[in-house]
Amino acid sequence: MPDVIIVSMSGREILSYLDDVARLRIEVFRDYPYLYAGSLEYEQEYLQSYAACDESIFVLALAGGDVVGASTGLPMLAADEAFQRAYRQRGDNLSEIFYLGESVLLPKHRGCGIGHAFFDEREKQARHCGATLATFCSVIRSADHPCKPEGYRPHDVFWKKRGYEPNGLRAQLAWEQVDAIGEVENELVFWSRSL
């Protein structure tokens, strides 16, 4: 990770970085597979839930003081209801689950080990919070999706190397997309691993 510093923070400590992370999320998630057409206002509101939770985590990748990557997490009990629902319906104890939000990283910094640092720090926070399971979601796209770029490689291999597997649970979440007018209901699959 040449010239990149990894910094972790929790709760209200993240407030000074909210705008930077919001802009980064909009930029990175605009690409396939998320195709997200987000707004700064929505992002700031969404990220406030992390600032409001003392046990949340923001892992930042800083290059020359600029935020070039960010990864988030928080106890499932503090996560959005859309992510809690599947586990609640299955009868799981949400207090034992840590939700790994998103990881976004500018392309020029990929492949340098930052993704592993993001997972290491979030899993450490999950254990600190007493979680026995870490989980996250990825969007489901058809193999022949018209926006899929040539040579696209999903992150599945990386996630599996980290010990994560799809667990059969699904979530529904709507967001505005670059390839549609208005919000689109998307299906996401959960990946998880025991801690």
- Using 50, 70 and 90 to split pLDDT, how confident is the model at 2? low
Residue 53 lies in a domain: yes
Q: Is residue 148 part of a domain?
A: no
Which domain range does residue 171 map to?
A: 5-143+154-194
Mean pLDDT along residues 142-147? 92
Q: Where are the alpha helices (DSSP H) in the chain?
A: 18-29, 40-51, 81-90, 114-128, 156-161
Average pLDDT over all residues of the chain: 95
d(CA 189, CA 173): 11
For residue 26, is it within any domain? Answer: yes
Domain total of the chain: 1
**What mean pLDDT do residues 106-131 have?**
96
Which tokens is 92 given?
């799981």
Read off the pLDDT of each residue in 128-149 and give the average, rounded to a whole number: 95
CATH of the domain at 166: 3.40.630.30
